[in-house]
Amino acid sequence: MSSKSVAREADDILLASDMIRLGARLQVLQAETSLSYDRLARLYREIQQASPPKGMLPYSVDWFMTWLPNIHATLFYSHYLYLREHTDSTNIRALINAYRLYLEQADAGRAGEPNDEPVLSFTRAWMLLRFFDSDMLQLASCTQCSGGFISHAYEPVENYICAICRPPPRAGKTRAATARKSRNSVRALS
Ligand SMILES: [Zn+2]
């Protein structure tokens, strides 16, 4: 094995470990590193103290259009775009760092329930970027708050109103407060 491939392997192990700690599924690790399935599965078990979950990745684009997921995904994506523009992070490093920023903010907006799963999982965040890459999603500018929000590609956006400016009636008080915080972050970044 050449020294170059040893360095590459070390990088891949670090990268995979970071992603596993953030909750990445095995399919994501396979796509982003050149490590074998067996090595990734071993690494996963070592870090998470559990076997990697089986089954398909969450592939639904529509999930990102529902109210709370839309706000959380938009928050994550704003961080991602910011890091891509203002740092020299590679795609995957920008994804990891943006997801960490998202977790910090999602946690801060969630008083008293710190052990809940985040609304946007790391694997969903990864899928989101793939959906953007394959032109299935776009950012639509809200006509009321002018924030950029995730929406279906090719959908008319002239009269677009975002999930924060027009929340569904069932959205409770806590959720509204989280949404307001997210709006400030989305604005600060856009
Ligand atoms: Zn709005």
Q: Cβ contacts of residue 181 below 8 Å, gap of 6+?
A: 105, 108, 109
pLDDT digits (tens, 9 = 90+) for 107-124: 766 655 556 789 999 999
Q: Which residues contact 12 (CB under 8 A, 6 or more apart)?
A: 33, 34, 35
Residue 22 pLDDT grade (very low, low, confident, very high; cuts 50, 70, 90): very high
Q: Tell whether pTM > 0.75.
A: yes
Q: In 3D, which of 140, 142, 141, 122 has the Cα closest to residue 18?
A: 122
Cα(179) to centroid(ligand 1), Å: 11
- Cα separation, 58 vs 130, in Å, equals 12
Task: Give me ligand 1 centre to Cα 39, in Å.
Answer: 45
The Å distance, Cα 135 to ligand 1 centre, comes to 23
Contact 67, 168 (CB under 8 A): yes
For residue 94, the CA-to-ligand 1 centroid distance in Å is 26
Rounded to a whole number of angstroms, the CA Rg of the chain reads 18
Task: Examine the pLDDT at 65 and tell me if it is beyond 60.
Answer: yes
Indicate the domain borders of the chain. 3-48, 62-189
Q: Kindly report, residue by residue over 75-99, the tens digit of the pLDDT.
A: 999 999 999 999 988 889 999 999 9
Q: Tokens for 126?
A: 């990864």
Task: Give the per-residue pLDDT at 42.
Answer: 97
* pLDDT for position 59: 83
What is the 80 CA–ligand 1 centroid distance (Å)? Answer: 20
The confidence band for 2, taking pLDDT boundaries of 50, 70 and 90, is low
Name the region of 112 (left: φ>0; alpha: ψ -120 to 50; beta: rest): left
Take residue 64 and report the two structure tokens written for it.
């990102």
Higher pLDDT, 2 or 69: 69
Residue 184 CA to ligand 1 centre (angstroms): 11
The Å distance, Cα 109 to ligand 1 centre, comes to: 19
The fraction of the chain above a pLDDT of 90, given in percent, is 68
From the CA of 93, how far away is ligand 1's center (Å)?
A: 29
CA 165 to ligand 1 center in whole angstroms: 4
110 C-alpha to ligand 1 centroid (Å)? 21
Q: Could you tell me the distance, in angstroms and rounded to a whole number, from the CA of residue 63 to the centre of ligand 1?
A: 19
